[in-house]
Amino acid sequence: MANTVDLLELDEEWVELIIEAKNMGMQLEEVRRFFENGLKDEKVEKDRVTK
């Protein structure tokens, strides 16, 4: 089953950020968790603003 991160279309800026994170020694799993947490935080903020 695909998760939200798998469904994202990554633009050039995001790809560059992922490559930079890898070059700084981050594991892909850490980058994936960052995206997941960021997406959750963004959804919570959007929900808060719209209520």
Output the pLDDT for position 34. 82
Give the pLDDT band of residue 1 (cuts 50, 70, 90). very low
What is the domain partition of the chain in residue ranges?
Answer: 4-50
Q: How far apart are CA 25 and CA 2, in angstroms?
A: 26
What pLDDT was estimated at residue 18? 85
User: CA neighbours within 13 Å on the CB side: how many for 24?
Assistant: 9
23 band by pLDDT with thresholds 50, 70 and 90: very high
Average pLDDT over residues 12-39: 85
pLDDT of the residue at 13: 80
Q: What is the pTM of this model?
A: 0.47
pLDDT band at residue 49 under the 50/70/90 scheme: low
